[in-house]
Amino acid sequence: TRTINLKNRPTGKPELTNFDITTSEIPAIKQGEVLLSTKYVSVDPYLRGRMSDAPSYIPPFELNKPIASGIIAEVLESNTSSFNKGDFVSGMLQWKETQVAKADGLMKVDPDKAPLSAYLGILGMTGLTAYLGLTEIGKPKKGETLLVSGAAGAVGSIVGQIGKILGLKVVGIAGSDEKTEMLKSEFGFDETINYKTTENMSEAIGKACPDGVDVYFDNVGGEISEAALFNINKFSRTVNCGAISVYNNTKPPKSISVQPFLVKKSSLMQGFVVFDYVDKHPEGIRQLAEWLSQDKLKYAETIREGFENIPQAFLDLFEGKNKGKMVVKL
């Protein structure tokens, strides 16, 4: 079976040469283990952090060892009472076509309730990040203005829709006219900004948010987020969910000083890591599934095909080539 490993650590933008593919025999399964066939692989911006050896909230990948991410797999053989042959499971698994895994840590997913790939997106970590980041830190109130960056991506497109469900005015920032059009027509965003064709972002945000920004859900960091600061309201909340625009930086970026903005507006800015809210995950999934079944939430996916194309799909996140959740189907 084939495995994708971290061959060397990237400097700046990750490249295909950071990965390699090796072939190995599949070991026999022991008590408490299952043999799994990979069906869908999630590629996520946070994996960039794990390719570096800098300390973070999850340990780095080891060199010449498999990369791992959220995966949906089919059980081929089972040596545990928890799963049967033919079940589908989700878990943090390795980038392998076939693998042996411990049963604990895996969760059964039901292909009759939702398409399998949805368990990596709206009904998985992506949906939880959107829901818990927005509600736990953003604390949105009806009638407020929510600004979302990375709005056409997996997390951002869900954040905006939840904002609409909760009665907010929602403004999204994304990197193409096709994406901003999708935000309005598919996901019900009120206003959008294409940051790639906008010269003065703080002015554009001001125009799109005439009453100011009450909640800023930040997926990108950098200059876009600096521009947002000029528009925050008194007692506003910023959810620091991600900072993809600076993940590949090799030098510390030049940036403005955040503190005076926060002081002047008694504003809160707080980092968010979805794994810190594990006790709230079941309730989050229940709520997301309910909204999905009521057609209040929709989701977009970009599905690539082929095991060997997983690294390219990952790299394409940094070029904005995805709409909604990027997954690879085997």
Closer residue to ligand NDP (CB): 3 or 69? 69
Closer residue to ligand NDP (CB): 46 or 230? 46
Query: Do residues 82 and 287 touch, judged by C-beta distance below 8 A?
Result: no
Query: Do residues 156 and 172 touch, judged by C-beta distance below 8 A?
Result: yes
Q: Does 317 bind ligand NDP (CB under 6 A)?
A: yes
Q: Does 281 bind ligand NDP (CB under 6 A)?
A: no
Of 33, 15, 218, 41, give the one whose Cα is nearest residue 130.
218
Q: Which residue of 273, 281, 303, 309 would you call a contact of ligand NDP, by CB under 6 A?
A: 273
DSSP string, 199-236: S-HHHHHHHH-TT-EEEEEESS-HHHHHHHHTTEEEEE
DSSP string, 68-85: EEEEEEEEEEESSSS--T
Q: Can you state the angle between helices 154-165 and 281-293, rounded to 10 degrees?
A: 70
CB of 87 to ligand NDP, least distance (A): 26
Q: Which residue of 4, 155, 193, 300 would you call a contact of ligand NDP, by CB under 6 A?
A: 155
- Segment contacting ligand NDP by CB under 6 A, of 17-25, 41-49, 83-91, 284-292: 41-49
Q: Does 172 bind ligand NDP (CB under 6 A)?
A: no
Site string for ligand NDP, 90-129 (x = CB under 6 A): ------------------------------------x--x
Query: Residue written as tokens 């053989």?
Result: 77
Query: Where along the sequence are the contacts to ligand NDP (CB under 6 A)?
Result: 44-46, 126, 129, 150, 152-156, 174-176, 179, 219-220, 241-245, 272-274, 317-318, 320, 322, 326
